[in-house]
């Protein structure tokens, strides 16, 4: 049981790490970028296989607002990842360069554009499953429930992280990247490396925190109105 929980968390953790590494194109250079990118897709295939029962149950049971939102978000995530995967195959300069496929500036632009959106959508995906992540962490640590003090400490940490995430959006000019505004203002990796990853982690954390607390509010309101909803 504990090993299964570790496995369920290690794959997302590795995917998050590799996604962050893949963003550092101008630090890594092309070959490592492509290797890490391919590793992300391999792990995603593994992650989907682990969660295959979720897909098998799509047409079973009733849909409420939360379930509808989760399914739509997963569709968006799959579409977003598919665009990143297809453009990767076309623009590859190393690993898949032997494939006789046309490369173009537009495909490269769609590649980075979808990559930046993936970070936001993955953040929302993490936020939707945060309760489950905490549950798995409690199972691993052998502490079934948290104290009220710990809950408030975690809420304060989440608030501070959300503030840092907002600042990271601004530092990295993420809004410009999400609105297809190409900028030559790249991160200067000769000056520093670690803050680049710290800020991007903050960017992923912001939508995760917002989604998690919105879901907490929705669930609270629903449980006040009637029996607690079944978790997806």
Residue selected from 4, 49, 61, 108 as contacting ligand HEM according to rule CB under 6 A: 108
Contacts of 208 (CB under 8 A, 6+ apart): 123, 124, 126, 127, 130
Q: What are the φ and ψ backbone dihedral angles of 102, each rounded to 5 degrees?
A: -75, 140
Nearest distance in Å: CB 82, ligand HEM = 8
- Among 71, 83, 133, 161, interactor with ligand HEM by CB under 6 A: 133
Rank residues 5 and 152 by Cβ distance to ligand HEM and give the closer one: 5
* Residue placing its CB nearer to ligand HEM in the complex, 147 or 179: 179
Give whichever of 82 and 153 is closer to ligand HEM, judged by the CB atom: 82
Min CB(60)–ligand HEM separation in Å: 13
Interface residue with ligand HEM among 6, 67, 76, 112 (CB under 6 A) is 112
Report CA dihedral (230, 48, 74, 7) to the nearest 10 degrees. Answer: 60
Distance in angstroms (rounded) separating the CA atoms of residues 13 and 146: 22
Binding pattern to ligand HEM, positions 134-173, x when CB under 6 A?
----------------------------------------
Sequence-ordered list of residues with C-beta below 8 angstroms from that of 42, at least 6 positions apart, any chain: none
- Residue from 126, 172, 203, 208 touching ligand HEM (CB under 6 A): that is 126
Closest CA to 94 of 18, 44, 19, 33: 33
Token readout for 38 is 């391919």
Contact call for residues 2 and 139 (beta carbons, < 8 A): yes
Positive or negative, the CA dihedral 135, 139, 144, 146 is negative
Q: How far is 63 from 160, CA to CA, in rounded Å?
A: 34
8 Å CB contact between 43 and 15 = yes
| Interatomic CA distance for residues 206 and 211, integer angstroms | 9
Closest residue to ligand HEM, based on beta-carbon distance: 37
Q: Which of 110, 129, 168, 209 binds ligand HEM (CB under 6 A)?
A: 129
C-alpha span between 99 and 195 (Å, rounded): 36
Looking at residues 40 to 99 of the shown chain, list those that interact with ligand HEM (rule: CB under 6 A).
40, 44, 47-48, 51, 54, 74, 77-78, 81, 84, 88, 91-93, 95-96
Contact residue for ligand HEM among 110, 120, 122, 124 (CB under 6 A) = 122
Q: In the complex, which residues of this chain contact ligand HEM (CB under 6 A)?
A: 8, 12, 15-16, 19, 22-23, 25, 30, 33-34, 37-38, 40, 44, 47-48, 51, 54, 74, 77-78, 81, 84, 88, 91-93, 95-96, 108, 111-112, 115, 122, 125-126, 129, 132-133, 232
């Amino acid at each position: 049981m504990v090993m299964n929980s570790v496995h369920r968390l290690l794959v997302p953790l590795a995917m998050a790490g590799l996604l962050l590494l893949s963003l550092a194109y101008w630090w890594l250079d092309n070959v490592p970028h492509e290797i890490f990118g391919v590793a992300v897709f391999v792990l995603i295939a593994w992650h989907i296989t682990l969660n295959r029962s979720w897909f098998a149950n799509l047409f079973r049971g009733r849909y409420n607002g939360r379930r509808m939102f989760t399914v739509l978000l997963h569709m968006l995530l799959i579409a977003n990842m598919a665009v990143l995967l297809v453009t990767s195959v076309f623009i590859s300069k190393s690993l898949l360069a032997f494939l006789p496929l046309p490369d173009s500036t537009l495909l490269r632009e769609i590649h980075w554009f979808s990559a930046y959106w993936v970070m936001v959508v993955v953040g929302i995906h993490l936020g939707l499953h945060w309760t489950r992540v905490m549950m798995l962490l409690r199972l691993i640590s052998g502490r079934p429930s948290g104290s009220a003090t710990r809950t408030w400490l975690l809420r304060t940490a989440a608030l501070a992280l959300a503030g840092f995430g907002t600042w990271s959006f601004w530092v990295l000019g993420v809004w410009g990247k999400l609105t297809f505004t190409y900028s030559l203002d790249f991160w200067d990796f000769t000056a520093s490396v670690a803050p680049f990853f710290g800020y991007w982690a903050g960017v992923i954390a912001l939508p995760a925190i917002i989604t998690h607390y919105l879901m907490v509010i929705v669930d609270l309101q629903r449980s006040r109105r009637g029996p607690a909803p079944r978790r997806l």
